[in-house]
Structure 1
Amino acid sequence: MSASPFRVERWTTASRASVVAVALLIAALALGPGYFSDNAIDKLTTLFVYVILATMWNALAGYAGLVSIGQQAFFGLGAYFAVRLADGGMPVYGALASAAALTGLVSWPLSYFMLRLRDGEFAIGMWVVAELFHLLVNLDPLIQGETGTSLVALNRYGAFARHAYTYWMALAGMSFLLLLLFALLRSRTGAGIQAIRDNEEAAASVGVEVARTKRLIFVLAALGAGLAGSLWLANAITFQPKTYFSPQWTAYMIFMALVGGLGTFEGALIGAVIFFAIEALFGAAGVWYLIGLGATALGFALFLPRGLWGWVEARYGLSLLPVGYRLRFKTHSSSPAQTPRLAAQPRRK
Structure 2
Amino acid sequence: MIGIYDIEVYNNKIHYYLTVKRNLTLVRGDSASGKTELVRLVGEYEANGSSSGITLKCDKRCTVLTNVDWEMRLVSLSQTIIFIDETASFLRTKSFAEHVKGSDNYFVIITRDDLDMLPYSVEEIYGLKNVSDSSKYKSYKKVYNEMYKLYNLSDINEIVNPDQVITEDTNAGHECYVEIYGDMCSAAGGKTKVYECIRTSDKKSILAIIDGAAFGSDIGKVMGYLAVSGKKCVLYAPESFEYLLLKANIIDVPQAILDETYNYADSQKFFSWEEYYTDYLVQNTKNTPFRYGKTRLNESYKSHRIIEKIKSVMPDQIISVEERSE
Do Structure 1 and Structure 2 share a fold, with TM-score over 0.5? Answer: no
- Please state which structure has a larger fraction of its residues in strand: 2
**Richer in helix (by share):** 1
- What TM-score results when the alignment is normalised by the length of structure 1? 0.29
